Amino acid sequence: MKKVFAGVRLKRLREEKRLTQAALARALGLSTTYVNQLEHDQRPLTPAVVDKIAEVFGTAIPLDEDAEARLASELRDALAELGDTVAQAEIRQLATTMPALGRAVLNLHRRYRQTLEKSEALAAGLEQRGQSMTALMPHEEVRNFFYDRRNHIAELDDAAERLFQRHTLLAGDMERGLERLLAEAHGITVRHQDGIGHRRYGHTNRVLTLPPNRAPGQQAFQMATQLAFLTQGALLDDLTRRGKFSGPEARALARIGLANYFAGALVLPYGLFLASAEELRYDIDLLAGRFGIGFETVCHRLSTLQRPRSQGVPFFFVRVDRAGNISKRQSATDFHFSRGGGTCPLWNVYEAFASPGRILTQMARMPDDRTYLWIARTVSHRSGGWGAPGKNFAIGLGCDIRHANRLVYSQGLDLADPSAATPIGGGCRVCERAACPQRAFPAVGRPLAVDENRSQFEPYASAMLDTGAPPPYRP
C-alpha cells in the first residue's frame, strides 16, 4: 500500500466531532504532536491509525486509491473542457486530500454543461418541443445513479442470491427453474408468441408472454426481470426513492434498470459466478457456456462484482455502435468515460467492427500514464424474420493493468513493457496528447501551432503541447 496523506480529511472528521487535537489524540491513543503532523500531511496515515479511527468513531477515512484516481480523471477532463491548464500533480493532490472540494468542482462543471446545453438547444429551436434542458435527461440521471454506486447494488445482489438458494435453482438451466417458480409461487403462465419482440406481462390474466426466438439464457433473464417486479417491489421503490430522481420518468427508468440488475444477479448469482470467473480466469466464452448466458450479459455482470471483502476484478463496461455512440457505460473503478468530444478512435472497441465475433485485446495508456487492458468483441441482436432490422454493437471490457494477470486475455502480452501500450485518450476535445494523427478536434483551451511554411502529419497540433512547434497564430 502506498503512503497516504489525508490530513484535510482527518481534520474535517475531528471538527465534525467537535474535538480538539488533544482530545482526538487521547481518543486514538496518540500524542498531540503526532496528530498535528498527520493533519498537516507531515506523516502518512497508517492502516493501524485508520482502523483505530473506525473503531473509535464508527466511521472510516476512505483510502481508496481507485476512487481518488477516478475523481482525478474526472477533474482533469472537466478542467480541460473549461480551458484551464492545471498540472496533473495538483489535480491528484486535490483528489487525494480534498475530495469533497473536488466533487464540488465537478458539480459546478456539470451545471456549466447543463447551461451550455440549454443555450445550444435554444439556438436549435428545441424548446419548441416543450422540453427543459436545464436538468439532466432522465436516462442520464439513471446512468449517474449506477455510476455513483460503482455499478454495484449490494441489496439486490443479496436478495437475488437468497432467492436462488431458497428455490434451489440451477445455474446454466435457469429457464425451466424460473418458469416453474413463476407458476408455483405466483400463478403466472409463461407463453411464447411469434411476432413480439419483448417481454409482456398481463396483470389481469397473469400471463407472461415472451418471444420464441430467444436463447434459453435470454428467456431466463426476462423471467427473472418479471420476478424482480413481483418479489422485490418494496426494495426497488426504496432504492429509487434514495436515488432522489427529479421526475417520474427518471424514477420509472431507474426502477426498470434496478429490476434488470436483479435479473442479472439471479441468473448469475454473486458467489457462484465470482468463483467460476476466478476459476476460468475470466474467460468470457467459457463463462457464457457454463451459465447459458450471452457474451454481453456476462461482461455486464463482471462489471458489478464489487461486494466488500469478496471482490472480483474491477472492470469498466461499454457498449458502442459504429457511429461511436455509447449506449451503455458502467464502471466499477476509476476509468472515466468522457462526455466531451466523443471517445478515442485508437481504442480497440471500434476496431472490433472490422472483425465480427472475434475477441480483440489491447493494452492502452491514458494521458495520465495509467495503463489498462481492454478486450472488445461485436454482438448482434435480431428480432423478427427476414428484412427485420437488427442491432450491432461492440462490447468493451477493461481493467487496470495491475489486475491483467488474473485474466486469460493477458497471455502473450508483455504487461511490464510501457511501449507495448497504445496511447489513447478520453476524447479529442479533452485529450492532451501532442502528436496524435487521429485527432479530430483541437484540444479545448490550447492554442494551435499554425505555420504556413511547414506542413505536418498531425492535425490540429497544439503549440502548448508540442514543444517543437512555432508560437501560436494570433490574428
List, in order of start, the domains of the chain with CATH numbers: 7-57 (1.10.260.40), 154-299 (1.10.10.2910), 310-423 (3.30.450)
CA distance 373 to 410: 8
Other residues' Cβ atoms within 10 Å of the Cβ of residue 235: 17
The number of residues making up the chain comes to 475
- How many C-alpha atoms does 191 have within 13 Å on its Cβ side? 14
Contacts of 221 (CB under 8 A, 6+ apart): 263, 264, 267, 293, 297
Are the C-beta atoms of residues 111 and 292 closer than 8 Å to each other? no
Nearest Cα neighbor of 264 from 307, 308, 304, 314 is 304
Comparing C-alpha atoms, which of 275, 322, 323, 331 is closest to residue 299? 331
In order, the DSSP letters of 221-287 are HHHHHHHHHHH-HHHHHHHHHHTT-SSHHHHHHHHHHHHHHHHHHHHS-HHHHHHHHHHTTT-HHHH
Given a contact cutoff of 8 angstroms between Cβ atoms, the answer to whether 72 and 89 are in contact is: no
Buried b (16+ CB within 10 A) or exposed e, 433-466: bbebeebeebbbbbbbbbeeeeeeeeebbbbbbb
Tell me if 13 sits within 8 A of 59, measured CB to CB: yes
Whole-number Å distance between alpha carbons of 270 and 403: 20
Whether the predicted pLDDT of 467 surpasses 50 = no
Amino acid (one-letter) located at 368: D
Distance CA 274, CA 264 (A): 13
E-assigned strands of 128-188?
A: none
* Choice among 124-138, 156-170, 388-402 with the minimum mean pLDDT: 124-138
Segments of 332-390 assigned E as strands: 360-365, 371-381
> 258-276: buried (b, 16+ CB within 10 Å) or exposed (e) per residue?
bbbbbbbbbbbbbeebbeb
User: For the chain, what is the total number of helices (H) and then of strands (E)?
Assistant: 17, 11
pLDDT level of residue 28 (50, 70, 90 thresholds): confident
The contacts of residue 18 (CB under 8 Å, 6+ apart) are none
Say yes or no to pLDDT of 14 above 90. no
Q: What percent of the chain has pLDDT over 70?
A: 85
Mean of pLDDT values over 290-318: 94
Average confidence (pLDDT) over 414-428 = 86
pLDDT, position 109: 83
Specify whether the CB–CB gap between 280 and 291 falls below 8 A: no
Which pLDDT does position 48 carry in this prediction?
Answer: 82
Helix (H, G, I), strand (E, B) or coil at 382: coil
The answer to whether residues 312 and 277 touch, using CB atoms and an 8 Å cutoff, is yes
For the chain, percent of residues with pLDDT exceeding 90: 43
Higher pLDDT, 283 or 62: 283
Type of residue numbered 291:
F
CA-wise closest residue to 215 among 293, 302, 297, 288: 293
| Whole-number Å distance between alpha carbons of 168 and 163 | 8
Query: What pLDDT is attached to residue 468?
Result: 41
**β 422-423/360-365 pair status:** parallel
Q: What is the pLDDT of residue 66?
A: 65
Q: Is the pLDDT of residue 124 over 60?
A: no
Helix (H) or strand (E) holding 326: strand 326-331
